[in-house]
Amino acid sequence: MCTHKQNLQETRREARLDASLMLSGTRPEDNGFLPWNPAHDDWRDEMNLTRRTLMLAAATAPGLSRASASAPLSAPTSARLPDRESFPGGDVVYLDSGTMHPISPGARAALQTYMEHRSLDLGSRVKSGFDDDQVRKKFARLINADSDEVAFVQSTTAGENLILQALGLPEKGAHVVTDTLHFFGSFPAYEDLAKSGVEVTWLQQKEGRISIDDVERAVRKGTRLVALSLVSTFNGFQHDLRRVCEIAHAKGALVYADIVHAAGCIPVDVRESGVDFAACASYKWLMGDFGLGFLYVRKDRQANLRRPQSGYYQISEFKTHVYPLDTPGDSVADYVRSDSAQGLFAIGTFAHPCLALLNHSLDYIGTLGVGAIQAHATSLTDHLKSELPKLGYQLYTPAESKTPLVACVMKDARGRLSPRLDAAKVKITLSQNRFRVSVSVFNDMTDIDRLLSALGVQGTAA
């Protein structure tokens, strides 16, 4: 007889190899199917690698240097910032973590452990090194959410679009408020909503800020959604998210926040702010990689959302009626979806290599403390904001900003600055008419001074 769990067990076991190799060398097939609970895979709790096991695996993994294998897998104390040991670099000064964060040797060792497990080396005693539900819980803890409020998504943009669909947008006559410091990659989504009959109010930036007074004037009774970036990718401006949510909720509107430039580098508390939805990728301040992110959906909002897509990772109970020895039924299968964000938005398999990286990096961030990370970054960005204007550069990041991003407006920034920065081996974000510096845990004041020296006084020859 096919039980209500076995079909999903068979499918998921093919996609997720977490239990294929035990430390004892015993394969799960020896004892038949392992019990599966989609809300919490209890059998996988036994598979968490100890630090020592992971280090031993990394040390013997092919292609991994001795320096990488011996890298510490626990985070340093805040007193050790900057932490160059966990992010050893070459002779390039990397000030572009806001574009993509470097992968640490510790995370690389975790990835190598997973890849060795994934190679199906039957002689290996190495397990996968992570539990995907535990990774979700670690992220949930980082933003003060419950794990059933967090679902895996491909990217920040994927999460934002899922929320728009779940709210029934586009809908003719609906009203949405957003702003021009929101992620520019989301501009087409809201322009497309406008073309479909949604009234979209764009709040304009003023001196690198979105005025809270403008938010209050724009949100009205009947507004469906306020969409913003908690920290702007353009210049590091940070919204007062709690105040935005107070304004929106008072008029019956919901709030979505892109937190890709917030989670992991500044404190984010979804409970304190009251935000309804939030999403982020993992390749920036979460120190993961491309292809996997998180979507937060407040628990008390979930029942009122439409499920945008159907997927078997949403299912918590499943019983077929079509295979040999199945019990008869009135349909091909009976199923129940999980009462969670996963039950609404999960679809199918996701990027396990990213999970391996995140399993390490979320521990690193959590042990170090986001407050310590922010304080270290602020000591560097405050110096930048003080010195760049003295060199003639037009600062576009608010002086009061406590985020790790500093941006300047400069015509033909890429063309004018690329040669001198390349020569000095300094990497920052260069756009057509803007440059942006983003600092992280491994940067120090010598990096900032080297950048300032490479930039020189604006208008002078390289």
Q: Are residues 115 and 142 in the same domain?
A: yes
Q: Are residues 333 and 224 in the same domain?
A: yes
- Residue 123: pLDDT band by 50, 70, 90 thresholds? low
Among the residue ranges 53-67, 155-169, 433-447, the one predicted with the least confidence is 53-67
Out of 340, 368, 396, a domain closes at 368
Among the residue ranges 41-45, 362-366, 456-460, the one predicted with the least confidence is 41-45
Is the per-residue pLDDT at 442 higher than 80? yes
**Would residue 93 count as lying in a domain?**
no
**Would residue 322 count as lying in a domain?**
yes
**Would residue 460 count as lying in a domain?**
no
What is residue 175's three-state secondary structure? strand
**Would residue 194 count as lying in a domain?**
yes
Residue 253: which of 272, 271, 228 has the closest Cα? 228
Q: Are residues 121 and 268 in the same domain?
A: yes
Is the per-residue pLDDT at 78 higher than 90? no
For Cα atoms 153, 146, 286, give the angle at the middle one, nearest 5 degrees. Answer: 50
Domain that holds residue 324: 1-79+105-368
For the stretch 18-53, pLDDT in tens is 332 222 222 222 222 222 233 332 222 322 333 333
Residue 259: which of 160, 161, 394, 171 has the closest Cα? 160
Greater confidence (31 vs 441) lies with: 441
Q: Are residues 68 and 115 in the same domain?
A: yes
Q: Are residues 383 and 248 in the same domain?
A: no
Q: Are residues 240 and 389 in the same domain?
A: no
Q: Are residues 329 and 374 in the same domain?
A: no
Residue 263: which of 159, 395, 114, 112 has the closest Cα? 159
Q: Are residues 138 and 191 in the same domain?
A: yes
Q: Are residues 316 and 382 in the same domain?
A: no
Is the per-residue pLDDT at 249 higher than 70? yes
42 contact partners, CB below 8 Å, separation of at least 6? 35
Q: Are residues 287 and 323 in the same domain?
A: yes
**Own/partner pairs, 339-343, CB within 8 angstroms, 24+ separation:** 339/148, 339/302, 340/39, 340/148, 340/149, 340/151, 340/302, 341/148, 341/149, 341/150, 341/151, 341/295, 341/296, 341/297, 341/302, 342/38, 342/148, 342/150, 342/151, 342/152, 342/313, 342/314, 343/314, 343/316
| Residue in the structure block whose two tokens are 């913003």 | 228
Is the per-residue pLDDT at 344 higher than 60? yes
Out of 368, 393, 411, a domain closes at 368
Is the per-residue pLDDT at 70 higher than 90? no
Mean pLDDT of 276-290: 98
Q: Are residues 49 and 180 in the same domain?
A: yes
**Would residue 86 count as lying in a domain?**
no
Mean pLDDT of 403-409: 98
**Would residue 130 count as lying in a domain?**
yes
Report the share of the chain in percent with pLDDT over 90.
77
Pairing assessment for the beta strands 277-281 and 394-395 based on DSSP bridges: unpaired
pLDDT at 24: 27
Tokens of 432: 């057509």
Here the CATH number for the domain that contains residue 38 is 3.40.640.10
Mean pLDDT of 315-319: 95
pLDDT at 129: 74
**Would residue 89 count as lying in a domain?**
no
Q: Are residues 346 and 410 in the same domain?
A: no
Q: Cα-atom radius of gyration of the chain, to the nearest Å?
A: 24
pLDDT at 49: 31
pLDDT at 96: 98
Instruction: Please provide the average confidence, as pLDDT, over all residues in the chain.
Output: 85
> Can you tell me the distance from the alpha carbon of 48 to that of 167, in angstroms, rounded to the nearest whole number?
38
**Would residue 462 count as lying in a domain?**
no
Here the CATH number for the domain that contains residue 391 is 3.90.1150.10
> Can you tell me the distance from the alpha carbon of 129 to that of 20, in angstroms, rounded to the nearest whole number?
12
Out of 368, 401, 435, a domain closes at 368
Among the residue ranges 119-123, 149-153, 257-261, the one predicted with the least confidence is 119-123
pLDDT at 311: 93
Mean pLDDT of 249-263: 98
Count of domains for the chain:
2
pLDDT at 265: 98
